[in-house]
Amino acid sequence: MTSKTNREQERAWNGDEGAYWARHHELFEGSLARYQPAFLAAAAIEPGHRVLDVGCGTGVTTRAAAAAAPAGHAVGVDLSSAMLDVARELAGRAGLANISFERADAQVHPFRSGAFDVVISRTGSMFFEGPRAAFANLCRGLAPGGRLVLLTWQQPGRQEWINEFARALTGRELPASAPGGPGPFSLSDPDEVRAVLGAAGFTGIELTAVSEAMNYGRTVGEAHEFLLGLLGWMLQGQDDARRAASAENLRRVLAGHATPDGVCFGSSAWLITARSG
Ligand SMILES: C[S@@+](CC[C@H](N)C(=O)[O-])C[C@H]1O[C@@H](n2cnc3c(N)ncnc32)[C@H](O)[C@@H]1O
């Protein structure tokens, strides 16, 4: 069910990374909450629409799609069993009957041709080893004239969040441009996005820049624990004293970003829209 090339992503998402995300789903889903209004406005889901949510994670956008399409339905696909378990539970709690989830690699899953009116993905479409093949597969799943709506990150140099965290924990920022290959910044270059989606069969490709604050927790303590768990890999190679100093640096940075609404950092994304055929 997973293409050979996506096995590494599957190991991460269907392993520790996905499990951490599932355990902290409220914080992960909440961190992107300020992007949700623009994302849903672009998705423009109508009552009868059939919606596919790619890399749906714990399903916050799938639930929103299902609620907007009471006479249609929303299907969420993801690589992570742990995240999908949470997605199913939350959809059940929300009382949504027109929603389903499937563990699938969106790059190769045999979606029925023309089965969807809208394909959405909120930061879930940057992890394909073969992006052209993956988006061609999604294009086949769309009805003629169906719409693709993605939220992806702009270049790392435009992300206060990851650079502040990296500087606090390692003393260095990330390189300003994204490296090639699958990862959070693989769809950050507009020319590359147009080339990939165009080659996959999409037309009318438009990118709109959107900037919002990411919220990492209600308190500094909550954000600190959450981020140390998430970014522990950045401390690799540091001895105990250095690790303690790095953790303290991070706490100081978080305290500087505490607001009445939470611990917030700037970020920049692309809202990408396109049509099949
Ligand atoms: C950054 S998370 C975003 C989750 C969710 N869309 C949200 O906004 O909360 C990326 C998600 O994409 C999923 N993913 C990565 N590659 C995938 C693939 N080839 N097929 C399906 N899901 C994939 C991961 O398992 C992960 O849940």
Instruction: Confirm if 275 and 145 have CB atoms less than 8 A apart.
Output: yes
pLDDT at position 5, please? 67
* Pocket of ligand 1, beta carbon within 6 A: 6, 9, 13, 18, 28-29, 32, 55-57, 60-61, 77-80, 83, 105-107, 122-124, 127-128
pLDDT at position 1, please? 58
pLDDT bracket for residue 89 (50, 70, 90) = very high
**25-64, pLDDT tens digit by residue?**
999 999 999 999 999 999 999 999 999 999 999 999 999 9
Specify the residue with its C-alpha closest to ligand 1, atom 14: 55
Helix 60-68 crosses helix 36-43 at what angle (to 10 degrees)?
A: 40
Domains and CATH numbers, the chain: 4-156+178-212+267-276 (3.40.50.150)
pLDDT bracket for residue 107 (50, 70, 90) = very high
Specify the residue with its C-alpha closest to ligand 1, atom 13: 55
Instruction: Confirm if 142 and 276 have CB atoms less than 8 A apart.
Output: yes
**53-64, pLDDT tens digit by residue?**
999 999 999 999
Choosing from 2, 7, 9, 122 the residue with most ligand 1 atoms within 8 A of its CB, the one to mutate for a pocket test is: 9
- Angle among Cα 101, 79, 229 to the nearest 5 degrees reads 110
Q: What is the pTM of this model?
A: 0.95
**204-218, pLDDT tens digit by residue?**
999 999 999 999 999
For residue 244, the CA-to-ligand 1 centroid distance in Å is 32
CA 221 centroid distance within chain: 24
pLDDT at position 145, please? 95
pLDDT bracket for residue 242 (50, 70, 90) = very high
For residue 55, the CA-to-ligand 1 centroid distance in Å is 3
For residue 103, the CA-to-ligand 1 centroid distance in Å is 11
